[in-house]
Amino acid sequence: MKPADDIEAARRDLWSLLGGGPRANRPVLVAREMLASPFAGTTLERLVLDLNGTEPVPALFLRPENVARPPLVVYAHAHGNRYDLGKSELLAGRPALQPEPYGKALTDAGYAVLAIDSWLFEERQRPEGENAFTKARLLEGDTVWGMMLRDTHAALTLAIDTLDIDARRVAILGLSMGASMAWWSAALDPRTKVCVDLCCMTDFHTAIRSGGLDGHGLYYSVPGLLKRFSTSSINALTAPRPHLSLNGRRDPLTPEDGLATVDATMRALYGELGAASAWRMEIHDCGHEETPAMRQAALHFLRIWL
């Protein structure tokens, strides 16, 4: 077991590779507006946040009615080349997910949910497109992935400061790009107590060998990452907090031998830390999609640990 100072040093190192850590200024809630919720028994707000000092970040905040300080699930949306769809995935879903949107499933279970538009999506689309935007950031010494992670970190800070949630019970959940956001964010931010990722636990070394790396967008490239980290060593920063990873056996983004590598490493680490039941990886007979069994497993894991 590594001492806490070694873990914090690893987090600082990882942030450095991403182009820098969270900004020092506290995030600001610029505006909030009540909307008509599509789900009975819930309230829905559209928020505008200052998370990065560069551009406003639109968000949706959904919560069960008349519940004081509920647990919070940070919902990270997918990519899927749907730049028109960001935070609204929480309400509308997408074809790769089960028909019932996570906004309804999570609030029915008693959780408040916060979803932001990541850089390049929905209300934050860029006229130059993802690749040109990403190349410019790399030339400037930053990464789009780091920018996305910093916004997610700041959004959680704002939620804890402003949104009347239980800061002791915070989870993050997402599919595809949202899954990567979930496990990276949990590794970098110990305030996140539970992580559920669906369909994107990619072992980078295996993806390179298998030829599947090009399935990921350029935005996800972090220069020099593999000289200092692996997928397993990033996920190790979440231990011993509860972490469920759900993946498809036929998903080209998650080669099964890579999943086996991560699972073996995490099983050993969580066992060493006396938290064997807090790590779980499931591989389902599907592609890059959520199955009914995955949805059931995700909600069950949250019910146990959050």
What's 243's domain CATH number?
A: 3.40.50.1820
Identify the pLDDT of residue 1. Answer: 55
Return the structure tokens found at 247.
Answer: 């993946």
pTM over 0.95: yes
Give me the helices (H) in 84-203, please.
89-92, 102-108, 130-139, 144-162, 177-188
Return the structure tokens found at 72.
Answer: 């919070």
Identify the pLDDT of residue 4. Answer: 72
Identify the pLDDT of residue 211. Answer: 84
Q: Which residues pair with 35 in a beta bridge?
A: 44
CB 71 within 8 A of CB 170: yes
Identify the pLDDT of residue 277. Answer: 98
If you count DSSP H runs as helices and E runs as strands, how many of each does the chain have, helices first? 11, 9
Count of structural domains, the chain: 1
pLDDT by position in tens, the chain (length 306): 567 779 999 999 999 999 999 999 999 999 999 999 999 999 999 999 999 999 999 999 999 998 999 999 999 999 999 999 999 999 999 999 999 999 999 999 999 999 999 999 999 999 999 999 999 999 999 999 999 999 999 999 999 999 999 999 999 999 999 999 999 999 999 999 999 999 999 999 999 998 888 889 999 999 999 999 999 999 999 999 999 999 999 999 999 999 999 999 999 999 999 999 999 999 999 999 999 999 999 999 999 999
Domain that holds residue 297: 4-305
Identify the pLDDT of residue 54. Answer: 95
Gap between the Cα atoms of 65 and 67, Å rounded? 6
